[in-house]
Structure 1
Amino acid sequence: MSKDTQIPVGEFMEIRDAVAGELRKGASSQTQRTTLVRQAEGLILAGYVDIDAVRTEQRFGPVVAEVLREVTRSLEKHGEQLHLPMGTGADTHPLDTISALDDVTGLRPIMNAAEIASVATLDTKAHSVNEGGDGTVTWWHILREEVFEAAAEEHVVALRAELVQIAAVAVKMIDALDAKAGA
């Protein structure tokens, strides 16, 4: 952005407030806060603030923050799981462990989403040490369970919660891949 960039006053004020909010963290007095707001204005006008990045953060920041809260909740519940295999690849059979349960569950191709979600949950638990299973759980088991739970959801609020869980699992999978690449 240059000094010649024109943006609506309302947008400028939103961006200024966002930047000032970040600068103000830790400021103790009203004088410090006012000074930081002026610094934020100066940074924006001087072109040191990427307005598009701030707009993106304003738009997606709350959702990403929610995903990170879910990642934290999941880590507290299940612990670190960086060691889990991904369970993906061209030669994998992503539904094979579920179909292995067909004697128990009666899995069949015409099952609806709720039935498949229930079977996926049982399958993940059967493989998860945290749930009393045999310890062969993979990231794919976990992600697949969340995807099928989302597929079975009818209510907007519950669907949104499932999608946040899918995003959290995906973030944790990426973290595990990165940890293995750095090892």
Structure 2
Amino acid sequence: WTDSEIAKWQCITCRRDQQLDQENSDPNLNLNTTPITPDRSFQGLENSFTQCVSFGSTTPSIPPSLTDLKLDEVKSKLIDHEKLEDQDLEKSLTLAAEAGTILLQENNELKNNIHYLNSRISLLEANSLSMEAKVEELSAIEIKHIQKIEILLNKLEDVEQELIKCKQDKSDLQNI
């Protein structure tokens, strides 16, 4: 693994904080690069996890997922491995494979979340369109009722004028 590849590793909580376009872009892994030594790769991974886990109090409290817990476990294993003076390659490869497996699992979880959220967005868009059509329909009905009220008010005004005229005529007849 290269330092730049390792620096891109993050937990699911940190990825939630990134912009949507960054979540959807896949990092281009250059397989032709010369791999770095296990010591340096684990140091880079440890730094990445440390930065990732130390997100601070500005992030809303999200309960850790199983993947996050596994990432924390791998982080502690990496820290313990770094402290050992005798670092064998087999243990280093095992830890790297474990980290890779967890990251693949997290990637699958993220893909499932994206699929669920896209389905939810589609449903909400359909509901929104339905509600907009209902609002337009109700607006048309409201306009129709307002016009009807105006017509009835005009008729009422005419009837009141007629009533006043009739009263006036009656009063004129009584005065004669």
**TM-score > 0.5 by shorter chain:** no
From the CA coordinates, give the structure whose radius of gyration is larger.
2
TM-score (normalised: structure 2): 0.27
If each structure's helix is expressed as a fraction of its own residues, which one has the higher value? 2
TM-score (normalised: structure 1): 0.26
